[in-house]
Structure 1
Amino acid sequence: MTVHEREITELTPAVAESDGGRWLDLLAPRYLVATAMLCLGVALYAFNGFLVSTVMPTTVAELGGEAVISWSLTLFLTASIIAGTSAAMLKERFGARLVLTAAALVFLAGTLLAATATTMAAVLLGRIGQGLGEGVVAAICYALIPEIFPPRLVPKVFGAEALVWALAAFGGPVLAGYLTETISWRAAFFVNVPIIAIFVLMAVTIVPNRQGREVRSTAFPGLRLALLATALVTVLVAGLSGALPQAAVALVVAVLALAGSLHLDRRAKETVLPAGAFSLGSALGLGLWAVLLMSLAQATSSVYLVFSLQNLWHFPPTAAGGMSALMAICWSLTAIGVANLRSDSRKRSMIWIGPLLLVGGLGLLVASLLSGKIALLVVAQVAIGAAFGVSWGYLSQMLMDTAPAHERDKTSTLLPTLQSAGYALGGALAGLTANAAGLAAAKGAEDLRGPLATAFVLAFLWSLPAALVSWRAVRLLRNPRGNAR
């Protein structure tokens, strides 16, 4: 165990409450480059996502391939989740510096392939490359947070990253639209190039490699990852399917493939998941459930919120995008606000208050769809953003700190991967639910209202167990004997 790991493990409540850290500490010479690098890692993912989603219709108009436009996101998410799942093992085997650099270069290769593509197939291959690179970058950046920063600054790191997300939510679509109109959709992909170059330079400069630890030779979990990929692709296909029988078969295949992957991982000598992952008897397991369920609940908004605003309230695209970005702004503002909490009890309270706000926000969102009252939707967006803002940083820190020292990398790298999985699966299931409720056959706004409300009811239902497991995790934290590792 390193000195810093002992610092995390042996942190007493008195120390935690007496020194909450300052925002300016992130800009101190010791942490400035690390803060900038982690924020660039987030920017790479956030801006790229908003840029690509904005330019993809123009890309398809030039290259063709309308039937596979949704696969741009599907393949990216699948590659990202698979790569993120293996990130901890790669970090242990090759060191963080080498893995981060290689992943960034893979992302760069995918970006250049997509930017210079002459067919939609090449664009999709480029998106796979971006997913593979970004999945590892996001996961390793999470793992580096507890390695580089003391616990008192971790909430502020998450606050800074949330601010980057908010900037991307507003600036990404605007920048992509401007570049597409004045230059070309290809220019939006090339925006990533200088970000990658600066990120790699920082990673080579400050990221430790292996820190002198013994490197164990481990077998690559190829079969487990292949089964996981099968599960992800089939459930995403189910969400895109317009025929319920085929969708049902795809879901069964997905469940069987996922069960097989988890079964093999539990029996493996070197596991991909941390011990006790998704256990209902530990704060670690319950916290991971909270991450997954909150992401599942939010996924419906990422798929159908802008669509609802444009078709039910007749918002123009810019106004609809601004309303969607309101959630990201509230996430950032609340994350910055609660990052100054010093009391351990208040920090733990944020972990369950956030999901409770999510329940209320999604309930208001359903009510707004059924009633047609836009004011309810505005309040819902504020509540949902605050839900993630107050809880996400402290939930992530709790999971990093409660994981055994030798499995902290596995836990930390799993967090962004699990979030991506929740968004992917939640979006697919929301699509399946909306289509089953008659979305595809709807002719007008009133015909759309019911199917869209049904999809958001599913999101509301996902939020209920998220609140329950978060509350239970905090209860176990207050009773250490109940927090079995």
Structure 2
Amino acid sequence: MAGFVVHERRSELRVFPRTTYQRGLSLKWVYLTLGLLAFGVAVESFLPLFGQRLAGLPPLVAGFFAAAISLGWSLTQIGGSSVTGHRAVRRLRVLGPVLLAAGLLLQGLLQRADTPSWLVLVWVPVLFVAGAGIGLAYPHLSVAAMSSTRDPEEGGRAAAAIATVTSLSIAFGTAVGGVLVNLGGASMLDAARCALFGIAIICAIGALTAYAANRTSLTEPADQARIHQGS
């Protein structure tokens, strides 16, 4: 990744927009926040395993429980994307990673060696809330990235980079999750807690990157001047 960034900064043919690498601009923080939100989705790869081993769920049922994160993401995104107030949008960008991390942290605390049925039912709203954190912030961060420049070529690159960041982050998250599961050793309970706590801590960094994105400018001075003249 370090080599990729060095190459990107020097190359004329880039994956990310030029403004991603310029000091004083927030686009890099926007992409980092998007990546940290997508990082949490990797938990879905391991939740069916935890459901089967810790709660004795059939594979199909355990898979449906894992889908609660995506359900929370999808449903919340539909409603959250309609928010337009400047202050409200800035708050949602920070709140999203906080909810995601809190949901994963609580899910880790709810893990038991022989999970009773009533506690399994509690998993669903907890995972839904975690996914809702993604849905609250993701659409507004995506809009920020796509509107970061008025140059058509750079704008297309900015939009395409959202999918690149998302897919790379899920892949990295799954790899890190696998490492954390193995750190738990032979105990599935320890493995579940290591994975959920570890990914929650990483996702929590998204609140800091979102705060940094809110504090810095998104567009270059030249773009800001054109926007001002157009208004």
TM superposition score normalised by structure 1: 0.42
1:96-149: CA deviations, max 9, x gaps? xxxxxxxxxxxxxxxxxxxxxxxxxxxxxxxxxxxxxxxxxxxxxxxxxxxxxx
**How has the CA–CA distance of structure 1 residues 268 and 297 changed in structure 2, closer, same or farther, with 3 Å as cutoff?**
same
Matched, 1:277 2:20: yes
Amino acid at match of 2:5: L
Partners of 1:410 and 1:282 in 2: how far apart?
17
**How has the CA–CA distance of structure 1 residues 278 and 312 changed in structure 2, closer, same or farther, with 3 Å as cutoff?**
farther
| Counterpart for residue 428 of structure 1 | 175
Partners of 1:473 and 1:370 in 2: how far apart?
38
Larger radius of gyration: 1
CA shift at 1:477, angstroms? 5.3
Partners of 1:318 and 1:345 in 2: how far apart?
42
Do 1:295 and 1:419's aligned partners in 2 also have CA atoms closer than 8 Å? yes
| Counterpart for residue 137 of structure 2 | 391
| Counterpart for residue 75 of structure 2 | 333
CA shift at 1:448, angstroms? 0.8
Partners of 2:133 and 2:171 in 1: how far apart?
20
| Counterpart for residue 474 of structure 1 | 214
1:432-481: CA deviations, max 9, x gaps? 2222331xxx2xxxx21002211112101111211111122123359998
| Counterpart for residue 53 of structure 1 | none
Partners of 1:351 and 1:429 in 2: how far apart?
24
Partners of 1:279 and 1:313 in 2: how far apart?
49
Partners of 1:471 and 1:358 in 2: how far apart?
16
What SS does the aligned partner of 1:403 have?
Answer: coil
What SS does the aligned partner of 2:46 have?
Answer: helix
**How has the CA–CA distance of structure 1 residues 432 and 266 changed in structure 2, closer, same or farther, with 3 Å as cutoff?**
same
Do 2:149 and 2:219's aligned partners in 1 also have CA atoms closer than 8 Å? no
Amino acid at match of 1:474: N
**How has the CA–CA distance of structure 1 residues 313 and 455 changed in structure 2, closer, same or farther, with 3 Å as cutoff?**
same
CA shift at 1:404, angstroms? 4.9
Do 1:286 and 1:470's aligned partners in 2 also have CA atoms closer than 8 Å? yes
Partners of 1:477 and 1:260 in 2: how far apart?
26
Partners of 1:436 and 1:380 in 2: how far apart?
24
| Counterpart for residue 9 of structure 2 | 266
Do 2:47 and 2:63's aligned partners in 1 also have CA atoms closer than 8 Å? no
Do 2:94 and 2:211's aligned partners in 1 also have CA atoms closer than 8 Å? yes
Residues 57-72 of structure 1 aligned to structure 2 (within 5 Å): none
| Counterpart for residue 227 of structure 2 | none
Partners of 2:88 and 2:191 in 1: how far apart?
39
Matched, 1:413 2:160: yes
CA shift at 1:278, angstroms? 6.2
**How has the CA–CA distance of structure 1 residues 478 and 424 changed in structure 2, closer, same or farther, with 3 Å as cutoff?**
closer
Residues 124-139 of structure 1 aligned to structure 2 (within 5 Å): none
Partners of 1:368 and 1:278 in 2: how far apart?
41
CA shift at 1:326, angstroms? 2.1
Q: 2:194 aligns with which of 451, 454, 467?
A: 454
CA shift at 1:259, angstroms? 2.6
Matched, 1:288 2:31: yes
Q: 1:348 aligns with which of 90, 93, 116?
A: 90
CA shift at 1:417, angstroms? 1.2
CA shift at 1:375, angstroms? 4.7
- Fraction of identical pairs, as percent: 25
Do 1:306 and 1:321's aligned partners in 2 also have CA atoms closer than 8 Å? yes
Matched, 1:364 2:106: yes
Amino acid at match of 1:416: A
Do 1:278 and 1:289's aligned partners in 2 also have CA atoms closer than 8 Å? no
Larger RCO of the pair (alpha carbons < 8 Å, separation 6+)? 2
Partners of 1:473 and 1:264 in 2: how far apart?
24
| Counterpart for residue 464 of structure 1 | 204
Amino acid at match of 2:139: G
Instruction: Extract unaligned runs of 5+ from structure 1.
Output: 1-257
| Counterpart for residue 316 of structure 1 | 58
What SS does the aligned partner of 1:282 have?
Answer: coil
Partners of 1:320 and 1:366 in 2: how far apart?
16
Paired residues, number = 218
Partners of 2:8 and 2:144 in 1: how far apart?
24
Partners of 1:360 and 1:304 in 2: how far apart?
18
